[in-house]
């Protein structure tokens, strides 16, 4: 049983800067070597588009990421100003103001805007996509669609206001762990197995390849 209110309370006290933490964990050189740092805007701005697309399997998104990085480096997007605007709290009016600004950025649709704002501490809006539709069908027996999912999450999670996203995320995380095991006990190399295609495998079970890899990793990691 998930104690969502407890999770919401605990997660709500964690500053965004601690959530978006540095992956170079000095106490675990193995993880550090495997994952490394996320590149800075300046590093991304100087990358070749075709290299980034191929190296990270980004496709058409590569050019958008490079343009975004260039906008930050050249000062057209002021990250510090955006961050400082949230210093006095995450109000609905500020959310709408920032969302309007973000929508002007190439590639920032409703889902991306909601995700970025969630990472900045605006938890009252749940970013929704096909994974949200799948989750509502599986856990809440809701026949949601991409067209109706936003309205459905408002109804289901409004009792947790203003921490709707944290309640949703705690619930989703619990579902993943029931399926794949404790994520905290998985080797980082297996994180890639938690995908939409594996969630949709026949009969609600892991496909044979995923199951085999997870079993091998469990033996190696133990």
pLDDT digits (tens, 9 = 90+) for 151-197: 999 999 999 999 999 999 999 989 888 888 888 888 888 887 877 67
Whole-number percent of the chain with pLDDT over 70:
73
The C-alpha atoms of residue 168 and residue 116 are separated, in whole angstroms, by 16
pLDDT digits (tens, 9 = 90+) for 26-73: 444 554 455 567 889 999 999 999 999 999 889 999 999 999 999 999
Torsional class of 93: left (φ above 0), alpha (ψ -120 to 50), beta (otherwise): alpha
Among 153, 164, 221, residue whose Cα is nearest residue 190: 221
Angle of helix 164-180 relative to helix 130-140, nearest 10 degrees? 80
Among 78, 79, 191, 178, residue whose Cα is nearest residue 135: 178
**Helix residue ranges, H only, 90-148:** 92-102, 110-119, 130-140
The C-alpha atoms of residue 16 and residue 166 are separated, in whole angstroms, by 13
The C-alpha atoms of residue 117 and residue 140 are separated, in whole angstroms, by 25
123, 90 Cβ separation under 8 angstroms: yes
């Amino acid at each position: 049983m998930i104690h969502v209110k407890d999770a919401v309370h605990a997660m709500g006290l964690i500053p965004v800067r601690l959530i978006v933490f540095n992956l170079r964990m000095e106490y675990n050189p193995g993880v550090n070597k495997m994952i490394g740092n996320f590149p800075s805007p300046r590093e991304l701005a100087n990358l070749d588009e075709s290299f980034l697309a191929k190296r990270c399997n980004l496709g058409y998104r590569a050019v958008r990421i490079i343009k975004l990085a260039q906008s930050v480096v050249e000062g057209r997007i002021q990250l510090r100003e955006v961050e400082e605007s949230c210093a006095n709290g995450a109000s609905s009016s500020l959310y709408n103001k920032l969302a309007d600004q973000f929508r002007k950025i190439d590639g920032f649709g409703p889902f991306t805007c909601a995700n970025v704002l969630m990472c900045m501490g605006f938890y009252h809006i749940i970013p929704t996509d096909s994974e949200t539709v799948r989750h509502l069908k599986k856990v809440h027996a809701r026949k949601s669609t991409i067209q109706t999912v936003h309205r459905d999450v408002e109804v289901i999670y409004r009792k947790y206001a203003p921490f709707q996203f944290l309640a949703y995320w705690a619930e989703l995380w619990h579902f993943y762990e029931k399926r794949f095991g404790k994520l905290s006990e998985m080797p980082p190399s297996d994180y890639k197995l938690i995908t939409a295609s594996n969630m949709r495998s026949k009969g609600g079970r892991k496909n044979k390849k995923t199951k085999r890899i997870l079993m091998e990793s469990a033996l190696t990691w133990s």
